[in-house]
Structure 1
């Protein structure tokens, strides 16, 4: 088992919530333009990708949770709490979105990512280059359409 992550573009968080509810929590990719990016979770590894793309520092907590729709717990969630079990959907922050859209050389960015992300230990730049290229293209399409990027995650 591993962490599944899909990135997609959508016009608003409200639209995303409606589609995720209709899909019973399953990934909305298919209904939205998106890409699968296993292990590239939004809270840590995406931050490492932003740093690899820009060379600038990354602010943790830039992304906003849109699913589950209940308030995020302040401590460890209890069994049965949707925050404990997932899935989770986050709206990707503007700075991360812009960083992804600005990637012009996915090979270089992928090499920097795997060199610095301990979460991807054992991965190669060649494995990640297509993922980085797809995410960059998705971010540019979202920007052109006036949409935002979202990340759906599930264990």
Structure 2
């Protein structure tokens, strides 16, 4: 099936731990709504590479593995365990959140067009520019709401 990604906003790492307890470790995006979370289904969009590429386009900087600046926040102690297979949650840097939040609406179509052609998305059938524009609007909206609320963006990941 692949790796699953749900992006959501939360006030802090403690709120994430409570959400993970309420969802029995996730997923965050569920049929009928999320329990107390403003969330976006990542549909194969990993934070480091695929989301990182659109952030690099938005910032007009070369993509780098540390651009998103994600950090493991849940569960405790799994960062040192090479056998742990998930799920886990990372927090994205404030820079990544703000880069997404600050994308002007008139730039979205061009960024979505560029994003739809990255190599990492070439294996998927639903990455036409129109589809990626819709996806980008979801991420930008989440980032704007997170910044307005003083929240961070988190990504739930499961193999």
Q: Which runs of 5+ in 2 are unaligned?
A: none
After superposition, residues 1-150 of structure 1 pair within 5 angstroms as 1-29=1-29, 30=34, 31-61=36-66, 62-73=69-80, 77-78=82-83, 81=84, 85-104=85-104, 105-115=107-117, 117-121=118-122, 123-150=127-154
Query: Is there any run of 5+ residues in structure 1 with no aligned partner, and where?
Result: none
For residues 63 and 77 of structure 2, the distance between their equivalents in structure 1, rounded to whole angstroms, comes to 27
TM-score after normalising by structure 1: 0.86
Q: Once the 2 structures are TM-superposed, how far is the Cα of residue 43 of structure 1 from its aligned partner? A: 1.9
Aligned-pair Cα RMSD in Å: 1.7
Contact kept, 8 Å, 1:53 with 1:103, in 2: the verdict is yes
- Give the TM-score normalised by structure 2: 0.84
> 2:95 and 2:113 mapped to 1: Cα distance?
21
